């Protein structure tokens, strides 16, 4: 029997919601599973004091090293990170980072089939890069190179000799000097990129995109876990939920926005995501296990790749995600045993 260990920086699985769903799926699939944190590993004895879910409770037991590790989170301390890398050298991990937005952008540019779905993006080294983009596109998005949930995203549009600047729910009209100062201050703190603004809006004028969560299953094949639309607020520019937007149900959203073409749009999204994931996966040395692909649809119904995220999570389908996570981990463990 293959043994799957779930590694998380938190000491106890009670504080990690997906630990229980993973344990439940492992039980259903006949896979041995336990949860552990870095401080419970004993390298000299090659044992781990892990938590096993039995009779409704998490019981700590002395366990052998697993065949594969589901590395469910990043580590917090230097000691945790050191142990993380020690384990990674001897036991296969399921999950591997894909890099920041510009690394992902360059990877997709390598794929001829999908390069034309990319939104042109450029690192901002000086504020002038933003003004040049505004001259070319009139409306641009400025966002952090690394980040999530729409934090730090700015929308800028030329308005005569001034500029409309939108940050979250706050909007203002600024002149050249003010905008230059704003851009300079943010890029001094962290890396940003600039790209043209793609209008992906509902019939009511609300910004939206689709989050497509894809994972590898127990056969090592890419599958769709969940697709859902994210609709922004009436005063927003982006569709991120953290910026006042909300999540819709796919079928009803497609029916409302695309009518009789809704079914076709769903199939387009599904086929796009699977084809993309296979090609994108092949650009990395380490196999990827899951992705969150954010797709916008412009007024001509052309898909645009907004972002590709690592460890996207599922907003309300944790069990569905675990139904792929654990069998895939077992698949990797079996492949590793065969390799040995």
Q: What is the pLDDT of residues 203-225, one digit of tens each?
A: 999 999 999 999 999 999 999 99
Question: Tens of pLDDT along 251-261?
Answer: 999 999 999 99
Q: What is the pLDDT of residue 237?
A: 61
Indicate the DSSP class of residue 161: T
Q: What is the pLDDT of residue 170?
A: 85
Please, which pLDDT band fits residue 122 given cuts at 50, 70 and 90? very high
Q: Output the average pLDDT for the chain.
A: 93
Element (H, E) at 79: helix 78-90
Q: Give the model's pLDDT for residue 241.
A: 54
* 90-112 pLDDT, tens digit each: 999 999 999 999 999 999 999 99
Count the alpha carbons within 13 Å of 113 in the hemisphere toward its beta carbon.
Answer: 10
Fold of the CATH domain 122-196: Dna Ligase; domain 1 (3.30.1490)
Give residue limits of the domains in the chain. Answer: 3-95, 101-118+200-310, 122-196
What is the DSSP secondary-structure string of 85-131?
Answer: HHHHHHS-BS------HHHHHHHHHT-HHHHTTBPP-EE-SSTHHHH
Q: Is the pLDDT of residue 31 over 70?
A: yes
With beta carbons less than 8 A apart as the criterion, state whether 1 and 65 touch.
no
Q: At what angle do helices 262-281 and 250-258 cross, to 10 degrees?
A: 120
Residue 338, pLDDT score: 77
Tell me the per-residue pLDDT of 125-157, one tens digit each, with 9 for 90 and over: 999 999 999 999 999 999 998 876 667 899 999
Q: From residue 60, give the alpha-carbon distance in Å to each of 12, 13, 24, 246.
A: 10, 10, 17, 40
The strand pairing partners of 155, in sequence order, are 141, 166
pLDDT at 236 over 70: no
66 has a pLDDT exceeding 80: yes
CA angle 196, 197, 202 (to 5 degrees): 155
Instruction: Please report which confidence band the pLDDT of residue 40 belongs to, taking 50, 70 and 90 as the band edges.
Output: very high
Kindly report the CATH number that applies to the domain delimited by 3-95: 3.40.50
Residues 4 and 329: beta-carbon distance below 8 Å? yes
Residue 63: the pLDDT is 98
Q: What is the pLDDT of residue 268?
A: 96
> Between 50 and 150, where is the model more confident?
50
**139-144 and 41-42 as β-strands: parallel, antiparallel, unpaired?**
unpaired
- For 95, the token pair is 């999950």
pLDDT given at position 233:
73
- Rounded distance between C-alpha atoms, residue 119 and residue 304, angstroms: 7
pLDDT on residue 93: 98
Cβ-in-10-Å burial (0-12, 13-18, 19+) of 88 comes to middle
pLDDT tens track for 281-294: 999 999 999 999 99
The CATH H-level (homologous superfamily) assignment of domain 101-118+200-310 is ATP-grasp fold, B domain (3.30.470.20)
């Amino acid at each position: 029997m293959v043994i799957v260990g779930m590694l998380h920086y938190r000491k106890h699985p009670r504080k990690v919601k997906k630990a229980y769903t993973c344990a439940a799926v492992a039980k259903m699939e006949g896979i041995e599973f336990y949860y552990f944190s870095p401080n419970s590993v004993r390298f000299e004895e090659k044992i781990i004091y892990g938590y096993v879910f039995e009779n409704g409770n998490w019981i700590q037991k002395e366990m052998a090293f697993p065949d594969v590790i589901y590395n469910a989170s990043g580590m917090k301390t230097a000691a945790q990170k050191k142990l993380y890398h020690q384990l990674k050298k001897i036991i296969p991990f399921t999950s591997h980072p894909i890099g920041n937005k510009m690394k992902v952008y360059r990877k997709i540019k390598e794929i001829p089939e999908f390069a034309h779905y990319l939104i042109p993006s450029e690192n901002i080294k000086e504020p002038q890069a933003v003004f040049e983009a505004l001259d070319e596109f009139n409306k641009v998005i400025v966002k952090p190179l690394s980040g999530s949930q729409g934090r730090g995203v700015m929308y800028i549009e030329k308005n005569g000799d001034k500029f409309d600047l939108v940050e979250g729910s706050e909007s203002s009209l600024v002149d050249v000097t003010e905008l230059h100062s704003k851009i300079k201050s943010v890029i001094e703190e962290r890396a940003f990129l600039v790209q043209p603004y793609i209008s992906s809006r509902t019939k009511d004028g609300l910004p939206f995109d689709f989050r497509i969560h894809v994972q590898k299953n127990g056969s090592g094949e890419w599958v769709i876990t969940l697709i859902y639309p994210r609709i922004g607020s009436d005063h927003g520019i982006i569709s991120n939920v953290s910026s006042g937007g909300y999540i819709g149900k796919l079928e009803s959203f497609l029916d409302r926005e695309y009518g009789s073409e809704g079914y076709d749009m769903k199939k387009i999204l599904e086929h796009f995501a699977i084809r993309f994931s296979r090609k994108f996966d092949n650009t990395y040395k380490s196999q990827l296990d899951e992705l969150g692909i954010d797709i916008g649809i412009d007024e001509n119904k052309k898909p645009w790749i907004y972002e590709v995220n690592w460890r996207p999570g599922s907003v309300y389908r944790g069990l569905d995600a675990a139904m792929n996570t654990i069998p895939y981990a077992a698949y990797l463990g079996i492949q590793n045993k065969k390799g040995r």
